[in-house]
């Protein structure tokens, strides 16, 4: 699909990943891009979705919008996270059919994988068990959209694609201590500890869980590439194939920020899913895509951005 002559709408386009996705679309000379704002369209309601489609008249919808947070936020909002994410996908896909759009792009979540998925995670294991309980409501809601897209493809001919980006990080991330994910939360902890002269930081869990992280610009390129070449919602992982324990991650971020104090672990807090590391061979085969940003390089860029902007995001 040549995106330069399409009307493209990006839900969540004003957010972290969305801002980089818009840059990638502009680089492909996409002239008509519409970003629905929350204050104008409540995409968790059918009325809001219908108004959005009526105003934007898109050829392609890239659905990034989500209500989500870290382990604490998922623990505190299981009902809301299921409802909001399920409702958005449900209404957006149904009205994509009603309006006859050309393609619907759905971003899923690695939280959808079963709690004890064999490592590295392969897409064919997506339904072989229940997700990690802390974030299961969010994960189940997001992967139910893949089933809906598959059904709509087979019954109505709606072209679509379904992507599973691993944990994202990078400049412009959410650094709010109440809702941020692990990398921005740790960067903020370490930078603030350096600034205040604190002799320690506190971290949740035991540090034994592992994660994989994808630089946000690489994720944006993968999503645009899938929009161009995919017509069926085959689940596709977007990641780096690099696994790191939370303990090693904390130590790395401490070193890169210059924090030299003690790291104290609180084992009464949850670790979340035991391991996350993706098999990304399908993305290479179907999208001709792979991540290009080294992990330390991406972390340095993120730390530098936070230090330059932290006064405006306190």
CATH code at 121? 3.40.50.720
CA distance 190 to 202: 10
At 281-306, the pLDDT tens digits run 999 999 999 999 999 999 999 999 99
Phi-psi region of 161 (alpha: psi -120 to 50; beta: other; left: phi over 0): beta
Helices 182-196 and 246-257, interaxial angle, to 10°?
40
Torsion of CA 271, 275, 278, 279, to 10 degrees: -170
Domain assignment of residue 62, yes or no: yes
Domain assignment of residue 187, yes or no: no
C-alpha distance from residue 176 to each of 59, 82, 172, 246, 282 (Å): 35, 22, 12, 19, 34
At 255-284, the pLDDT tens digits run 999 999 999 999 998 888 788 899 999 999
pLDDT at res. 229: 98
Q: Hey, how many other C-beta atoms are within 10 angstroms of the C-beta on 123?
A: 19
At 143-178, the pLDDT tens digits run 999 999 999 999 999 999 999 999 999 999 999 887
CA distance 217 to 24: 9
70: pLDDT strictly greater than 80: no
Residue 35 belongs to what domain range? 3-170+213-241+277-292
pTM above threshold 0.85: yes
Please give the mean pLDDT across all residues of the chain.
95
Domains contained in the chain, number? 1
Domain assignment of residue 313, yes or no: no
- The active-site residue, picked from 41, 113, 138, 215, is 138
Domain assignment of residue 119, yes or no: yes
Domain assignment of residue 190, yes or no: no
CB-CB contact of 167 with 228 (8 Å): no
Helix H or strand E encompassing 144: helix 136-156
Domain assignment of residue 199, yes or no: no
314: pLDDT strictly greater than 70: no
Domain assignment of residue 140, yes or no: yes
169 as an active site residue: the answer is no
pLDDT at res. 72: 78
Q: Which of 16-20, 157-161, 177-181 has the lowest mean pLDDT?
A: 177-181
Domain assignment of residue 116, yes or no: yes
């Amino acid at each position: 699909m040549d995106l330069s002559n399409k009307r493209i709408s990006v839900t969540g386009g004003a957010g972290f990943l969305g801002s980089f996705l818009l840059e990638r679309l502009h680089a492909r000379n996409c002239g008509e891009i519409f970003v629905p704002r929350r204050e104008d369209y409540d995409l968790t309601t059918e009325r809001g979705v219908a108004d959005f489609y009526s105003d934007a008249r898109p050829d392609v919808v890239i659905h990034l919008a989500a209500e989500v947070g870290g382990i604490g936020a998922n623990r505190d909002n299981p009902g809301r996270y299921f409802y909001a994410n399920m409702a958005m996908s449900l209404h957006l896909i149904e009205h994509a059919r009603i309006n006859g759009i050309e393609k619907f792009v759905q971003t899923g979540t690695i939280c959808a994988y079963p709690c004890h998925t064999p490592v590295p995670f392969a897409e064919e294991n997506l339904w072989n068990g229940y997700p990690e309980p802390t974030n299961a409501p969010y994960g189940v809601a997001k992967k139910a959209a893949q089933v809906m897209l598959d059904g709509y493809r087979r019954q109505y001919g709606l072209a679509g694609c379904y992507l599973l980006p691993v944990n994202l990080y990078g400049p412009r991330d959410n650094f709010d201590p109440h809702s941020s994910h692990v990398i921005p939360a740790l960067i903020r902890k370490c930078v603030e500890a350096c600034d205040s002269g604190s002799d320690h930081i506190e971290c949740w869990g035991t540090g034994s869980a592992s994660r994989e992280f994808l630089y946000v610009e690489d994720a944006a390129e993968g999503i645009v590439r899938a929009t161009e070449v995919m017509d069926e919602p085959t689940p596709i992982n977007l990641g780096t194939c690099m696994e790191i324990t939370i303990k090693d991650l904390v130590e790395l971020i401490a070193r890169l920020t210059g924090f030299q104090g003690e790291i104290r672990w609180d084992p009464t807090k949850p670790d979340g899913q035991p391991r996350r590391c993706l098999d990304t061979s399908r993305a290479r085969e179907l999208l001709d895509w792979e991540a290009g940003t080294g992990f330390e390089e991406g972390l340095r860029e993120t730390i530098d951005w936070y230090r330059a902007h932290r006064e405006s995001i306190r």
